[in-house]
């Protein structure tokens, strides 16, 4: 064998090995199977596992919360839709609550939803409509799990995540059995128009609530009619609002409640936008009530 032939053979072998390695990694990343599992350290009877999804090499990171006594399957599911600038961890306590009451629960990081996101994408590329599409895709994927009753998929959304949930329900009302909207950002258009009087003034990067946003997000938000089509959704909607919310005006919550045929408006006296401390405890009680009624 000539030196040139040996070199060609070695190169071919290297290419095959590298190709096999890349395909192996790709196959692993495409797997929807949970990666890790553990019992919640707080002592609740809950199993928490990573359940991430991939579009090609673009990851959507998520965790699924299961009741540890589940042997029957066909359980209701609560999906937590987080707000701008945070990630799935913001909804952990609510997912734990749902699982401790016998439901499945799922929380995920929106692509570009925050600088702490473990999913693919930059905040500069994220838009509200992209998040709405992502939520609907997640609902479709989770509905295929054998443990889930696809007719009992509920969504709990906070702030921008609440607005996204409302838009998703308006677009696909049959895919969501009910919602809890916690201080949904129905005034996002007003907030963006307060920053810029004209679209021609929009900068390449706009920092809002410490999050760097791109031009497309701002333009879309400035034109967004957040209430459009919401009345098409005719299932139960609990709307929770902290009376000391520093971002969302109460009148937008009152208007939102009027849009729905089956709304249950629950103001929480003294709570801020993020429902910390006593506000969080009250929200957990409201979630528990919602679950027991469904």
Task: Tell me the per-residue pLDDT of 52-88, one tens digit each, with 9 for 90 and over.
Answer: 999 998 999 999 999 887 667 789 999 999 999 999 9
- Per-residue model confidence as pLDDT tens digits over 200-246: 999 999 999 999 999 999 999 999 999 999 999 999 999 999 999 99
pLDDT average, residue stretch 93-102:
94
pLDDT at 45: 78
Per-residue pLDDT band at 44 (split at 50, 70, 90): low
- Assign domain 36-292 to its CATH architecture: 3-Layer(aba) Sandwich (3.40)
- Does an H or E element contain 19, and which? helix 3-30
The CA–CA distances, whole Å, from 236 to 97, 114, 154 equal 20, 29, 10
pLDDT higher than 90, residue 15: no
Task: Report the chain's mean pLDDT, rounded to a whole number.
Answer: 88
The CA–CA distances, whole Å, from 278 to 44, 242, 268 equal 20, 11, 10
Per-residue pLDDT band at 19 (split at 50, 70, 90): very low
C-alpha Rg value of the chain to the nearest Å: 22
Q: Which of 119, 127, 232 is nearest to 175 (CA)?
A: 232
Residue spans of the domains in the chain: they are 1-30, 36-292
pLDDT average, residue stretch 246-270:
96
pLDDT at 161: 98
- Does an H or E element contain 181, and which? strand 178-182
Residue 201 · residue 229 · CB < 8 Å? no
Q: Which residues pair with 77 in a beta bridge?
A: 104, 153
46-50, 103-107, 183-187, 212-216: lowest mean pLDDT where? 46-50
pLDDT at 289: 97
- Does an H or E element contain 18, and which? helix 3-30
Q: Which of 152, 151, 133 is nearest to 81 (CA)?
A: 133
pLDDT at 238: 98
Q: In the chain, pLDDT over 70 holds for what percent of residues? A: 84
- Per-residue model confidence as pLDDT tens digits over 147-190: 999 999 999 999 999 999 999 999 999 999 999 999 999 999 99
């Amino acid at each position: 064998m000539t030196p040139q032939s040996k070199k060609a053979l070695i190169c071919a072998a290297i290419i095959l090995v590298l190709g096999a390695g890349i395909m192996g990694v790709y196959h692993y990343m495409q797997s929807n199977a949970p990666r890790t599992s553990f019992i919640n350290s707080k002592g609740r009877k809950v199993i928490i596992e990573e359940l991430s999804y991939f579009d090609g090499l673009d990851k959507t990171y998520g965790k699924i919360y299961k009741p540890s006594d589940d042997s029957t399957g066909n359980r209701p599911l609560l999906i937590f839709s987080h707000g701008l600038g945070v990630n799935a961890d913001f909804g952990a306590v609510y997912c734990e609550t749902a699982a401790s009451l016998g439901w499945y629960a799922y929380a995920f990081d929106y692509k570009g939803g925050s600088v702490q996101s473990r999913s693919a994408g930059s905040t500069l590329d994220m838009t509200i409509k992209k998040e709405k599409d992502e939520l609907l895709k997640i609902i479709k994927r989770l509905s295929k799990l054998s443990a889930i009753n696809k007719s009992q998929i509920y969504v709990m959304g906070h702030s921008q995540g609440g607005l996204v949930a409302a838009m998703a329900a308006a677009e696909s009302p049959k895919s969501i059995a009910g919602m809890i909207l916690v201080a949904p950002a129905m005034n996002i258009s007003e907030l963006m128009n307060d920053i810029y009087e004209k679209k021609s003034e929009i900068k390449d990067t706009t920092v809002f609530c410490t999050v760097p946003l791109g031009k497309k997000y701002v333009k879309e938000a400035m034109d967004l009619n957040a209430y459009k089509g919401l009345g098409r959704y005719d299932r139960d909607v609990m709307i929770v609002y902290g009376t000391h919310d520093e971002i969302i005006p109460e009148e937008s919550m009152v208007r939102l409640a009027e849009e729905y045929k089956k709304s249950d408006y629950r103001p929480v006296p003294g709570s801020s936008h993020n429902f910390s401390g006593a506000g969080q405890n009250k929200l957990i009680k409201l979630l528990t009530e919602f679950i027991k009624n469904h």
